[in-house]
Amino acid sequence: MSQHKSNPLMIIVSSPSGAGKTSVCKKILEDDKNLRISISDTTRQPRDNEVEGKDYNFISINEFKQNIKNDLYIEYAKVFNNYYGSQRKNILNYFNEGKDVLFDIDWQGAQQLKNSNLSYILSIFIIP
């Protein structure tokens, strides 16, 4: 039986590109079984070691822009000419399951979440 938490926590790990936020997030996920990672949509091409639906959801620029118009993202950013965004419905589904959510995102997306009306946010910025 799952225990519903009334105040789920959003943990944001952000940094400049290449600072190691993904490695930090993987370690945090190993240590906390109540935590789920937000899998971002992106318009960039997958790297050789990345898996669709596990590392990112790889979508077209047109689809991403349509998602922006439809207000589907809780946060999004354009980084090095590619878009990245976290779909609101996925985050709310985790919250409804009583899970905390970990975000491995760029500083722009982190700022959007911190400026939102959402509560219970822990933000960690990694400096290279």
Percentage of the chain exceeding pLDDT 90: 74
Q: What is the pTM of this model?
A: 0.86
How confident is the model over 18-28, as pLDDT tens digits?
788 888 999 99
Strand order in the sheet with 57-58: 57-58, 41-42, 82-87, 73-79
φ/ψ (deg, to 5) at 75: -160, 150
